[in-house]
Structure 1
Amino acid sequence: MLIARLIADPAVLETALATATAALADKGWHVAEATMLDFCGDVLQISLPDGDADGVRAILSDAFGPSDLLLSSGPIEVPHLFVSDMDSTMIGQECIDELADFAGLKPQIAAITERAMQGELDFASALTERVGLLKDLPEAAIQQCLDERIRPMPGARTLVETLNARGCHTVLVTGGFHSFADPVAEMLGFTRVVGNVLGVAQGKLTGNLAAAIVDSSVKQKTLEEEMARLGAGARSLAMGDGANDIPMIEAADYGISYYAKPKARAAADGWVERGDLTSVLKLFDVPESEWIK
């Protein structure tokens, strides 16, 4: 049984559902039920006895246009673990790009960041190269960047704190830096942070990292270790936007991409590309009256 939940433009919902139903039927996949959820009235739930998940997602994407969607092969339950990327997912910026602006190097470093997120460059090599370009930048630029540039994505704190209130363990895992991730985690409510450490000496960045690199394998390992700790029956949600997030998105019970690069979107069970981060709560049928705002 496949269960799809999606949020789309109400004006096209009926027509889009008819289009999707016909396209699914052409593949031999028949809709058993399509209904609006009681608690979240703008969420359409579609149930199919069978079907190929990738094919179903593609049909729904084409039929409904920009949407927020989650497709599952079983009942959709509020997760016990939430592991999320930070840059361009929980916050609206790429921290290293913004920090580079203080060194007058934003275009050069942003170009490397984009290629790494698209999966065109090895993440570890790209990170090492970018950090090296920041050598001798005053450490004070980090706090200035935090104060002036770094802002949470709409709905980020509501999502994290609402999951916390439901007993979900929330982890911020980033290829960015603890200097940014720790304050962001405190602001949003994450209970654990995994990230990279910038080398600092005599009040300046050294151009090196001071600990092992947090890359895609570490993100996946973090999710797996947390799930092992939670034990059998626990459900996990992972969210990100770039190639570095793909392994943890694929390893999670529910992998959601957030306004993501094409490779990350293709790897996910669903996506948010219409609303803000509170759409995730709607997809898990959490009533707005229970959101922590």
Structure 2
Amino acid sequence: MMSTLSQTKELFRNADAVCFDVDSTVIKEEGIDELAKFCGVGDAVTEMTRKAMGGSVTFKTALTERLSIIRCSREQVNKLITDHPPQLTPGIRELVERLHERHIKVFLISGGFRCIVEHVATQLNIPLDHIYANRLKFYFNGEYAGFDETQPTAESGGKGKVISMLKEQYGLKTVVMIGDGATDLEACPPASAFIGFGGNVVRQQVKERSSWYVTSFRELIKELEKI
């Protein structure tokens, strides 16, 4: 059953942990689209991302197809992070600081790539063991060798699996998921509440199905100030 707006706000204020999606939520862009552009196959991959986020194909299928077009080398990934580091969404740094001040654990759960997400986590002082994301695989010569299909985030429903695992591992009762896409929305339940984020891109089905939908992290910071 979906929480009401006031219930969602209360769960957020009293959360044991807050889990954020990364692409188009914590950062302004979709990491896989940026990687595709950098490797010269941007248009083909952007269209597939749109389908994946809209929920019209399974996440794993979309990820496999997009990566088979990109076929990025380790060197290209490293160069992307150096030359075009991910752009943080305004307000996220302050929001994470406020959550940490209140001893609320912060996790990043992403269908994107760990190498990019680690860079983001470091900027936000989020421990690297609080990251759940997909791992790219490379051959010894640095060429693309696929991705680790055993990671829960490689599957549709994977974010929910991670949240169930976190609840058990850390003994968390109230866990809030924040994100822009279909894969974030479907993580609630097991998440106690979901907050839709439309500050970078608005996905209509997510907006319609969120009891609390925000377009700026300032709205969440303001809510924490009520404590």
TM-score bracket, normalised by the shorter chain, equals 0.7 to 0.9
Amino acid at match of 2:211: D
Alignment partners' CA distance in 2, 1:185 and 1:158 = 14
In the alignment, which residue of structure 2 is the partner of 1:133? 69
Shift of 1:131: 0.9
Cα distance change on mapping 1:71 and 1:99 into 2, 3 Å: same
Q: Secondary structure at the match of 2:157?
A: helix
Paired residue for 1:212, among 150, 153, 159?
Answer: 150
Paired residue for 1:157, among 87, 93, 98?
Answer: 93
1:271 matched to 2:217? no
Cα distance change on mapping 1:210 and 1:222 into 2, 3 Å: closer
Aligned residues: 217
Shift of 1:79: 1.2
Amino acid at match of 1:71: S
1:146 matched to 2:101? no
In the alignment, which residue of structure 2 is the partner of 1:94? 30
| Matched-pair contact (CA < 8 Å) for 1:240–1:249 | no
Alignment partners' CA distance in 1, 2:171 and 2:148 = 33
Alignment partners' CA distance in 2, 1:91 and 1:73 = 23
Higher relative contact order (CA 8 A, sep 6+): 2
Cα distance change on mapping 1:101 and 1:243 into 2, 3 Å: same
Q: Secondary structure at the match of 1:167?
A: coil
Q: Which runs of 5+ in 1 are unaligned?
A: 1-51, 58-69, 288-293
In the alignment, which residue of structure 2 is the partner of 1:226? 166
Alignment partners' CA distance in 2, 1:285 and 1:230 = 26
Alignment partners' CA distance in 1, 2:19 and 2:2 = 23
Paired residue for 1:181, among 117, 120, 136?
Answer: 117
Alignment partners' CA distance in 2, 1:152 and 1:286 = 25
| Matched-pair contact (CA < 8 Å) for 1:258–1:271 | yes
**RMSD, aligned CA:** 2.3
Alignment partners' CA distance in 2, 1:109 and 1:176 = 14
Q: How does 1:1-293 map to 2 (within 5 A)?
A: 70-72=5-7, 75-76=10-11, 77-135=13-71, 137-147=72-82, 148-191=84-127, 192-201=130-139, 202-206=141-145, 208-213=146-151, 214=153, 215-231=155-171, 234-259=173-198, 260-273=202-215, 276-286=216-226
Higher fraction of strand? 1
TM-superposition CA deviations, 1:13-51 (whole Å, max 9, x none): xxxxxxxxxxxxxxxxxxxxxxxxxxxxxxxxxxxxxxx
Alignment partners' CA distance in 2, 1:73 and 1:198 = 35
Alignment partners' CA distance in 2, 1:228 and 1:284 = 25
Shift of 1:111: 0.3
Cα distance change on mapping 1:227 and 1:53 into 2, 3 Å: closer
TM-score in terms of structure 2 length: 0.86
